[in-house]
A and B are shown apart, each in its own frame.
Chain A
Amino acid sequence: GTSPACRSTFNVQDGSDFQDRVVNNPKPVVVDFHAQWCGPCKILGPRLEKMVAKQEGKVLMAKVDIDDHTDLAIEYEVSAVPTVLAMKNGDVVDKFVGIKDEDQLEAFLKKLIGA
């Protein structure tokens, strides 16, 4: 579908958008911190989006450009990119830095959904 409720990936607009759609989200959310200048991010992003879509709405994905939202990146202690946080009920329950393959991403997502 094309309605917002069906879209599993979204770009974070600002701090309060992050609060509403990530921290306060009843569903688990993976947060992809990325940057324009980061080559590996351009590989991980689409791959993660694809694996998130496969989970049929059980997990959502928020994308944060660290240059646009530096305060947010600093708050969540992002040093290198890509950094992916797994968030549930406002808490960071898992995290990884760098590229992962599809199987690894699937395992990461399934653990987040299942836990």
Chain B
Amino acid sequence: DYDLIIIGGGSGGLACSKEAAALGKKVMVLDYVVPTPLGTSWGLGGTCVNVGCIPKKLMHQAALLGQALQDSRKYGWQYEEQVKHNWEVMVEAIQNYIGSLNWGYRVSLREKSVTYLNSYGEFIEPHKIKVYTVRGQVTYHTAETFVLATGERPRYLGIPGDKEYCITSDDLFSLPYCPGKTLVVGASYVALECAGFLAGLGLDVTVMVRSILLRGFDQEMAEKVGAHMETHGVKFIRNSQIFIQVEQLEEGMPGRLKVTAKSTEGPEVFEEEYNTVLIAIGRDACTRNIGLETIGVKINEKNGKVPVNDEEQTNVPYVYAIGDILDGKLELTPVAIQAGKLLARRLYGGSSTKCDYINVPTTVFTPLEYGSCGFAEEKAIEEYGKQNLEVYHSLFWPLEWTVPGRDNNTCYAKIICSKHDNNRVIGFHVLGPNAGEVTQGFAAAIKCGLTKELLDETIGIHPTCGEVFTTMDITKSSGQDITQRGC
């Protein structure tokens, strides 16, 4: 009955559906949120809108405003009252905004005549899905083409007490009470961003890290991100730990939890009390219960992700997949949106443009933000060989940090150039305020084939943080000191 049925109404699914509908196709979108173990659920729009990028950036902003308030006194602002933070006021404001986004998506689907079902669906035979409605009824729908865009959900520890007492990012952004003293388990960007803003709001935060920070990212930058968080009061436990259990000592909003863990290196037992334990150890693709086996779509058994070719097609020709569930691809909203739009245009618009997954810029919104585009240094070395690279770097001191007396040797900029390709910039990294804003423009430049020479010929805007990239002289290979001296 449909040209296209999309399973999943998140960043990728919605973008694909609107584009296909605009091209005149009959489209259906299924979106269903299985509530968290604690009962949290949300509306249309997927992870980014509801429990990801949007609330994350708003809470990060709330924390940055706290820092700004501290700095403001040095700039002459005088106020008597002690500044405190009210968690409930912040969550209500953020959730109200998210509610308006959920509604906006419903309106835009309706305007484009896309059929939307807030229901769970699964494949029962080729080209056919069974849909469970809220009232327990079952309906069936067929389509010529299907797109899987089901996204992911947080993984739990698999220990007693994890689902009963711990929260994940799915719960954090709508938590109706302040989380209090929090243990964040994990070292992903989800873990560090959450730990970062919770600490910025004044909470006592500890991060428990199994091995490295920000796996997959440039490790020199990751360590600097962590170091900055530590100077800002976030505690890190960096021994490998095996979690034993989480017990509830007292119910409440928040309650009191006791975490017990054992070190893998010795006999020490770790026992500590927290109000909240936030588990951020990874996310699993939602591909297990939608009947993919029934129609023969292959998934990577280890992680549940879907392998696709460069046109996002699975091993079953009429089934495509986009977004976080793709095996070996980036888990980013703009990537899912781009992939979804281009897929619809290829299917129905006669286009042949494929989604470009190279040189996708990203930013980690930790208290000190980290933006990057292209290769991590260690990956570049692996791919090109150290002797074929020139790495330029510099510490920098944002002008706005001078008056409040914030450290002048914290913010850092690094570019990696390929010597045999005209010193082409193949890796861009910046650790500093507004890293996302700084990185976006340079990502476009990299797409245009930015070289070190072009960068040097570009005149900087003064006074900004971004201008540091136009005057980078010191290479890592020279061994010269980049420490800034105060002027």
Residues of A within 8 A of B (CB): 35-39, 66-67, 70, 74, 79, 81
Query: Do the beta carbons of B96 and A67 come within 8 Å of each other?
Result: no
* A interface footprint on B191-225 (CB within 8 Å = 1, 0 otherwise): 00000000000000000000000000000000000
Interface with A: B99-107, B240-248, B308-316, B325-333, which one? B99-107
- Beyond the given pairs A37-B95, A79-B107, 13 more chain A to chain B contacts, judged by CB atoms under 8 angstroms and listed by A's residue number, are A35-B100, A35-B103, A36-B96, A37-B96, A37-B97, A37-B98, A37-B103, A39-B96, A66-B103, A67-B43, A67-B99, A67-B102, A74-B110
Query: Do the beta carbons of B99 and A37 come within 8 Å of each other?
Result: yes
Residues of B within 8 A of A (CB): 43, 95-100, 102-103, 106-107, 110
23 contacts between A and B (CB under 8 A): A35-B99, A35-B100, A35-B103, A36-B96, A37-B95, A37-B96, A37-B97, A37-B98, A37-B99, A37-B100, A37-B103, A38-B99, A38-B100, A39-B96, A66-B103, A67-B43, A67-B99, A67-B102, A67-B103, A70-B106, A74-B110, A79-B107, A81-B103
Q: Chain A residues with Cβ under 8 A from B99's Cβ?
A: 35-38, 67
Q: Is the interface of A mostly helix, strand, loop or mixed?
A: loop
Tell me the minimal C-beta distance from B32 to chain A in angstroms. 15
Number of A-B contacts (CB under 8 A): 26
Closest 4 CB pairs of A and B: A37-B99, A37-B96, A79-B107, A37-B100
Q: Is the interface of B mostly helix, strand, loop or mixed?
A: helix
Assembled-state Cα–Cα distance A45/B98 (Å): 21
Assembled-state Cα–Cα distance A36/B103 (Å): 11
Tell me the minimal C-beta distance from B89 to chain A in angstroms. 13
Assembled-state Cα–Cα distance A74/B107 (Å): 8
Closest to B111 in A: A79
Assembled-state Cα–Cα distance A81/B107 (Å): 12
Tell me the minimal C-beta distance from B316 to chain A in angstroms. 34
Assembled-state Cα–Cα distance A74/B108 (Å): 11
Tell me the minimal C-beta distance from B44 to chain A in angstroms. 10
Tell me the minimal C-beta distance from A49 to chain B in angstroms. 21
Closest to A42 in B: B96
Most buried by A among B43, B96, B103: B103
* Contact for B96 among A38, A66, A74, A79, CB less than 8 A: A38
Tell me the minimal C-beta distance from A63 to chain B in angstroms. 17
Q: Chain B residues with Cβ under 8 A from A67's Cβ?
A: 43, 99, 102-103
Q: Chain A residues with Cβ under 8 A from B95's Cβ?
A: 37
Tell me the minimal C-beta distance from B112 to chain A in angstroms. 13
Closest to A77 in B: B110
Q: Chain B residues with Cβ under 8 A from A37's Cβ?
A: 95-100, 103
Closest to B94 in A: A37
Assembled-state Cα–Cα distance A79/B105 (Å): 10
